[in-house]
Structure 1
Amino acid sequence: MKKYIILASLILLISCKAKTPIVKLTTSNKYEVVLITDEKLKNFWAISFPFEIEITNDSYKDKGFTYYKYYYSRSSKYNRGILYLIDKNKLIKQGIGQIKKIGVYSKKKYVMYSKHIIDTLKYPRSFFKEYYQKLKESGLKDSLPVGTLAEFKKKHPKMVAHLLKKDSIYFRFPFPKRDKVKGYSEGVKVPVVY
């Protein structure tokens, strides 16, 4: 009988362990792809793609993450990207060092903008001809919104596939101090969908 009580207690303790938050990544139908230009060179040098992220905490403890990275497939390089919290349809920029808390049994939505450097040999100025015209007409100087990812992908499927294939986003969720040694964390890497 004692063995059964110990076994039941162990099963209960294991099943009650705090879970790692669930990270769900989708393409954004609301936020636009942005071409970034250099005023001096008068050329587009980078492109930012938006990704909507939903992080669900189905644990009995508050969770949070302090660190995130955007990994590029073509190299082992990464970029922090720009992360925004979606709060009542407003975007609030998130810092890299601050803890982004997710309450018990709740979820939060974010938008991350990647930043891909444009290879001007592969995509010369003539490739972006229509966007240069739009940039002149808009009066914007440093960036140009060019439509959602789905719209941009319809026009330039090879470019989108080339830039986003095998990319991923990484989040670091620190363990609570009393569960593990301070400084250790659990990472979640999610492949980019496009």
Structure 2
Amino acid sequence: MIADGMGGHEDGQIASRIVIETIAGSIESVRDEADVTTMIENAHRKLFEAMYSGQGRPGMGSTIVGVVFFDYEALVFNVGDSRAYELRRGQLLQLSRDDTLGVDRGRRGGHALTQSLGGTATPQPVSPHIRRFRLDDHVGVLLCSDGLTDMVQGNRIGTLLAEHATNPAEHLATAANDAGGKDNITVVVIGPKATAAA
């Protein structure tokens, strides 16, 4: 999973750490979509508890994207604009759904989040996007923050993944930095050769 914090550098780090720690504490027990929803809602609640107790500031928040693997299936989940993609026979298919206003992401315009964990002064309902998909041979998963997708187009991401079987996450992060690297870039490629870069 990837949590991309918001609210300034320090508060964003606190928010993303709380989200990761909370979800990591319960993800092993996830069996279905209802468990994922409960897990996400719990992380959302923990963020506000932290705000009210003086950790971070009101309004700090985080996106989340992750995947839970079973024997022949997986559940991908997200809130915010961090993304999950399925890599199947050279094709890149977005599994997550963006919670954003404005379709022109990245260098040409930007976007505003319509949903996040935390991110507001008072608690708002959160509705995670959850998708179940079948695991077949040679299917991989790409998780990334918007620091990648705002800087590198989807077709270019697919090309880089096809060209670089070794350390694909590092190549993607490098491409985003070479394009301007305007935000934190986190990339995880899960597959036969799992890698991560930040």
Q: After TM superposition, is the score higher than 0.5?
A: no
The structure with higher relative contact order (CA 8 Å, sep 6+) is 1
Higher percent of residues as helix: 2
Higher percent of residues as strand: 1
TM-score (norm 2): 0.29
TM-score (norm 1): 0.29
